[in-house]
């Protein structure tokens, strides 16, 4: 388990071709996955050749920031000479210099079942191949493997897309909907309302092309320069970002919380306060994941009078939040789900 004095270093080969040196993006995504509301440089990148920083410089930067443990991951597909000889030699050199720091070296990407999903995604993206057929087949399998009778027809696309995103049929039982949730969400989409998210990963996963048809935007304030650190009341950046957006943006129609229970609790507080937001009717999708306040915040949401979609379990997170929104966006483009 990572702590505040840990640093992760991704090391790539490096290339004279500038656009090929892009593992910084991977580093940011990894940091967001580990610490969704952190502003530190917990995940850094380095290169063996052609590009700075090199591994020793990156290690020095980590230690200057107070790192007590440095985990180094070779962002390589196989265990060639760089992985088995060059990088280990540099790590051993660092161990001799920084004797009070612990260094760990992980395996390369290698052969992993999840790489198959990536290859499949790349193949499906080739023009002329029918990736939609694979998705259709997946939904057929979901329908065959469980009994969905008795579930309201308007909820089925959302429940099945969440199962598709998570491969977890438990969501069929734990997802709950306010009676006006889907109607409110579809009205917001078709009215060109904005979608507010708690973290960047949720914002990134939402299908922007479907939303842009209705001239809506996806908003996330966690990276706003005003909120680089938590304030004196020890509120999280996700919480502060949600509060700022709700008070300043009068075009928000859907709030999506996929990671931060504090952001969900703040949303509930604001929507129940006398101050009220400038927004008239909102749908709150609250599915934070975790062991601290996640299920408690969702239980509180499930007792609200305003429209909501949530799940009563510890499970949730970005994939669930994104799946719910994307299901609504797809439904918003089908006339049969909503009378104009």
Structure token pair of residue 246: 């709700």
Cis peptide before 174 (omega within 30 of 0): no
Q: Do the Cβ atoms of 335 and 305 come closer than 8 Å?
A: no
What φ, ψ does residue 34 adopt, rounded to 5°?
-80, -50
Separation CA 276–CA 270 (nearest Å): 6
Closest CA to 186 of 329, 74, 290, 64: 329
Three-state DSSP state, 309: strand
Separation CA 249–CA 220 (nearest Å): 11
Active site residue 178: no
Three-state DSSP state, 78: coil
Separation CA 226–CA 38 (nearest Å): 14
Three-state DSSP state, 230: coil
- List all residues 6 or more positions away from 229 whose beta carbon is below 8 Å from its beta carbon: 39, 237
Separation CA 175–CA 240 (nearest Å): 27
| Active-site residue (options: 31, 35, 73, 164) | 164
Separation CA 136–CA 210 (nearest Å): 18
How many CA atoms lie within 13 Å of 93's alpha carbon, on the beta-carbon side? 11
Catalytic residues: 164
């Amino acid at each position: 388990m990572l702590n505040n004095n840990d640093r992760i270093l991704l090391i790539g080969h490096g290339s004279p071709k500038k656009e090929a040196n892009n593992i910084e993006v991977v580093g940011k995504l990894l940091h967001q996955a580990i610490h969704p509301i952190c502003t530190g440089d917990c995940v850094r990148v380095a290169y063996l050749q052609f590009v700075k920083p090199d591994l020793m410089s990156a290690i020095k930067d980590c230690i200057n920031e107070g790192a007590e443990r440095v985990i180094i991951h070779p962002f390589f597909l196989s265990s060639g000479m760089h992985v088995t000889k060059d990088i280990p030699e540099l790590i051993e050199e660092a161990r001799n210099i920084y004797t009070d720091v612990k260094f760990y070296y992980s395996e390369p990407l290698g052969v992993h079942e999840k790489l198959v999903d990536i290859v499949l995604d790349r193949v499906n993206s080739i023009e002329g191949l029918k990736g939609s057929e694979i998705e259709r087949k997946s939904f057929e399998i979901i329908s065959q493997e469980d009994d969905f009778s008795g579930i309201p027809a308007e909820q089925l696309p959302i429940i099945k897309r969440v199962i598709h995103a998570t491969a977890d049929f438990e969501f069929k039982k734990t997802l709950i909907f306010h009676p006006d949730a889907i109607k409110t969400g579809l009205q917001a989409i078709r009215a060109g309302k904005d979608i507010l998210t708690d973290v960047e990963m949720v914002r990134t996963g939402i299908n922007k092309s479907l939303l842009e048809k209705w001239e809506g935007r996806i908003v996330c304030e966690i990276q706003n320069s005003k909120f680089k650190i938590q304030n004196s009341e020890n509120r999280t950046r996700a919480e502060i970002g949600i509060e700022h957006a709700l008070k300043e943006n009068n075009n928000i129609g859907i709030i999506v919380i996929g990671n931060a229970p504090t952001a969900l609790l703040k949303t509930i507080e604001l929507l129940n306060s006398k101050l009220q937001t400038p927004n008239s009717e909102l749908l709150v999708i609250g599915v934070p994941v975790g062991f601290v306040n996640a299920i408690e915040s969702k239980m509180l949401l499930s007792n609200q009078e305003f429209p909501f979609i949530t799940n009563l379990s510890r499970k949730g997170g970005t994939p669930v939040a994104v799946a719910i929104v994307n299901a609504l966006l797809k439904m918003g483009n089908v006339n049969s789900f909503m009378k104009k």
